[in-house]
Amino acid sequence: MVSNDFDTDLDMKAQIVEPSEPVDNELIAALPAADLKRLLPLLELVDLEMDEALWEMEEKRKYVYFPTTAMICLLYETEDGVSIEVGMTGRKGMVGIVTFVGDARMAKRAVVQRAGQAYRIKAADVEKQFESSPAFQEIAMAYTQTLIAQISQSAICNRLHSLEQQICRYLLVSQDNLQTKSFKMTHAQIASVLGVRRESISLAARQLKHRGVIDYSRGKITILNKRDMLNAACECYMVVKEQYDRILGKYISGHEK
């Protein structure tokens, strides 16, 4: 469970977002100007640390998060304690959709996979925005569709595809969310997300490095050849990406940096 101290720490780090500030989350930036103006005073910009749990399934959600530079992983934990990634999000999404879709148990935990920043908004304020702003409601529900598709595809990927394919999918999603080819990420962190042994990740990563697809050193991974990585990944990455672009493209078109 997340301790009460966690919320206190976030309160100390929170910064109120001014109406004139640029917005680095695609969903928020896609809102019409009038809706964005009403939403901005409700947002706080917070620092999120690596491995921090934003919520557990048993807890009542206090906040909804819109990442900017952080990456957040949705995890499902089996009865024997093994964690498996079922979804990831960064600046292209949000965390906390159960606020407006009911008690949907899509994941048991939301954990920060890459330290960075996110906008947060109180769950009660999100509910009010959802009821009063048709544009916010439409974008939120469109994103929910893409997240459900991502979770469904992750289940297929974990069951049917090789570890190398899963690693490539994971790194490609990370690149999309973090907007960089190089990021701090250890083999142990990838193993934890994919629910496998670290040694298995190291073996697969060594093979990818030997083929010139990636490079890694001292907890930093760099994608050297995206085309080769796309070829090495399973179809799951493109299936989810194409669905995101199809469902949300009409909202975020023109807002990407």
Residue-wise pLDDT for 140-178, tens only, equals 999 999 998 998 898 889 889 999 999 999 999 999 988
Residue 238's pLDDT is 95
In order of start, what are the domains of the chain with their CATH numbers?
A: 4-124 (2.60.120.10), 162-233 (1.10.10.10)
Cβ–Cβ under 8 Å, residues 14 and 46? yes
For the chain, the helix, strand and coil percentages under 3-state DSSP, each to the nearest 5: 50, 20, 30
Residue-wise pLDDT for 13-29, tens only, equals 567 665 545 578 999 99
Q: What is the mean pLDDT of residues 124-144?
A: 93
Residue 6's pLDDT is 43
pLDDT top residue among 6 and 30: 30
Q: In terms of Cα–Cα distance, which of 97, 124, 110 is closest to 27?
A: 97
Which residue blocks in 85-160 are alpha helix, DSSP H? 98-101, 123-132, 134-160
Quickly tell me which residue has 């969310």 as its tokens: 177
